[in-house]
Amino acid sequence: MAVVEMAFCLPVIVLVIFGGIQAANLIFLKQAISEAAYEGALFGSKPEATQAETVSRAVSHDIL
């Protein structure tokens, strides 16, 4: 009886666990992209900033 319960519940449990991991990865990636955009905009708003420096500053943040 326990084997049958496990056979039905295990796929759902695995799906919930791996779904949670993927959701956490997605949230982390969104936050990293937001932070890179913020840094680029903050640096680009300075009067002496050039476009190349601004892009370099935004890209310099490691997303992965």
Sign of the alpha-carbon dihedral angle for 38, 39, 44, 46: positive
Q: For position 13, what pLDDT does the model report?
A: 97
56 pLDDT higher than 90: no
Could you read off the pLDDT of 3-36 as tens digits, one per residue?
998 999 999 999 999 999 999 999 999 999 999 8
Pair of tokens at residue 37: 């955009």
The residue ranking higher by pLDDT, 11 or 54, is 11
Residues 6+ apart with CB under 8 A from 4: none
Helices (H) and strands (E) in the chain, counts: 2, 0
64 pLDDT higher than 60: no
The structure's pTM equals: 0.71
Residue whose C-alpha is closest to residue 36's, from 18, 16, 55: 55
